[in-house]
Amino acid sequence: MKILITGGAGFIGSNFIFYERKMHPTYELVCVDKLTYAGSMETLESLLGDSKFRFCRADITDRQEIEKIFTTESPDVVVNFAAESHVDRSIENPSVFLETNTIGTQVLLDACCRHGVRRFHQVSTDEVYGDLPLDRPELMFTEQTPLHTSSPYSASKAAADLLCNAYYRTYKLPVTISRCSNNYGPYQFPEKLIPLMISRALKDQPLPVYGQGLNVRDWLYVEDHCAAIDRILEAGEPGRVYNVGGHNEMRNIDIVKRILEVLGKPENLITYVEDRKGHDRRYAIDPTRIHKELGWLPSVRFEDGIRGTVRWYLDHRAWWEHIESGAYQQMNERLSAAVC
Ligand SMILES: NC(=O)c1ccc[n+]([C@@H]2O[C@H](COP(=O)([O-])OP(=O)(O)OC[C@H]3O[C@@H](n4cnc5c(N)ncnc54)[C@H](O)[C@@H]3O)[C@@H](O)[C@H]2O)c1
């Protein structure tokens, strides 16, 4: 079995590579990543000598490069994590989101049709459903909830999901889609809420919280997301969407306060800043389908996951400090030149 994993130098993709390496040591894994600002080769450095792992630096929107990689590698399965993933950046510059998240997905779908694969799995997001009101806790996103996006990021991901469905219906490409809630855990780029708050608190810097911090997200430990994708690859039905979530809704302000508590830092580090434009109020995933049909359930309780995550950022200070200083970009050049 050979799996081609796009975006594997990013947060969830790299965790997925480590998960597959652990659970299926005989699988060959090929990582395709452009190494944008969000990719770090330092994350994958420990795998570079592994004979069952290959890294190819390539842009998923580059048809020729992708064609070359498919011709050389002939993957059995493709899992597409590659994306521009930060909502704030999509508000500043939507174009690159449409290029990578939408057109890039279409380039991969075309390559899969030409070369034939057992499965194309699209890693999507709960953000394609839009948001829910704060005062209706009984409402949750199911796979039947209409797509109703708010940001250029979520719109570009929803467009990709629709293309995946179209390729399944039109070309019979065996496609599955997972729509997951917010992830947290090791190797998350320090611009995202949890690592940003941890790194700033460790330096006793102010912690910027949008609005009053009342927006609610459903948090899932990243390895549980990886396990869900692995399960979908094994037993998921082509043409089907699977919601993935942990029934773990929390307000942003409560997450930030919990991090401060774990680190033993004072709450007066919190600074409230002007809210994000079009900020989604609440996301809540109903993961009944993946539980009933595929037997997946999250295994990490938030309390354990957040403690482990804070511990990881304390123990891997060099990893995120290299990102903050920009040193990781030289490492990206050096380490990718050696393998591509
Ligand atoms: N982080 C979350 O909470 C979350 C939740 C649900 C779904 N998702 C989805 O999971 C996927 C991975 O998210 P993440 O948080 O790991 O993102 P990330 O930003 O940490 O990583 C993205 C990776 O994709 C690579 N990449 C970007 N553009 C590329 C291109 N054109 N060609 C090749 N590689 C490219 C980057 O270099 C980086 O390594 C995304 O598709 C995202 O929409 C994320």
d(C-alpha 179, C-alpha 329), whole Å: 30
Spacing, Cα 135 to ligand 1 middle (Å) = 31
Q: Give the SS3 label for residue 306.
A: helix
pLDDT for residue 337: 86
Q: Measured in angstroms, how far is the CA atom of residue 238 from the centroid of ligand 1?
A: 23
97, 84 in Cβ contact below 8 A? Answer: yes
Mean residue pLDDT of the chain comes to 97
Cα(268) to centroid(ligand 1), Å: 33
Ligand 1 probe mutation, 4, 6, 12, most atoms within 8 A of CB: 12
Give domain status of residue 73, yes or no.
Answer: yes
In a domain, 52, yes or no: yes
3-class state of residue 136 by DSSP: coil
- For the stretch 256-280, pLDDT in tens is 999 999 999 999 999 999 999 889 9
Task: Supply the CATH number for residue 232's domain.
Answer: 3.40.50.720
CA distances 113 to 50, 117, 161, Å, are: 29, 7, 16
What lies within 8 Å, CB to CB, of 215 at 6+ separation is 251, 252, 279, 280, 281, 282
Within-domain flag for 103: yes
- Mean local confidence (pLDDT), 196-224: 96
C-beta separation of 176 from 117 below 8 A: no
Whether 208 is in a domain gets the answer: no
Beta carbon of 100 within 6 Å of any ligand 1 atom: yes
Mutate-to-test residue for ligand 1 from 4, 11, 107, highest number of ligand atoms within 8 A of CB: 11
| 317 in a structural domain | no
Q: What is the reported pLDDT for 339?
A: 76
| Mean pLDDT along residues 130-144 | 95
193 within some domain: no
Query: What percent of the chain has a predicted confidence (pLDDT) above 90?
Result: 98
Annotated catalytic residues are: 126-127, 153
Write out the residue range of the structural domain in which residue 118 sits.
2-187+221-247+278-301+328-337
Stated pTM of the model: 0.97
With a cut of 90, say whether residue 25 has pLDDT above it: yes
Give the pLDDT mean for 153-173: 98
How many domains does the structure of the chain reveal? 1
- pLDDT mean over 131-139: 94
Q: Per the domain annotation, does 30 fall within a domain?
A: yes
Residue 340: predicted pLDDT: 65
Residue 98 lies in a domain: yes
Say yes or no: CB of residue 161 within 6 Å of ligand 1. no
> What whole-number percentage of the chain has pLDDT above 70?
100
* Mean pLDDT, residues 177-191: 97
Ligand 1 centre from 138 Cα, in Å? 30
- Region 200-213: mean pLDDT is 96
User: What's the pLDDT tens digit per position in 54-85?
Assistant: 999 999 999 999 999 999 999 999 999 999 99
* Per-residue model confidence as pLDDT tens digits over 39-54: 999 999 999 999 999 9
The crossing angle, in degrees rounded to 10, of helices 193-202 and 252-263 is: 40
Whether 299 shows a pLDDT value over 70: the answer reads yes
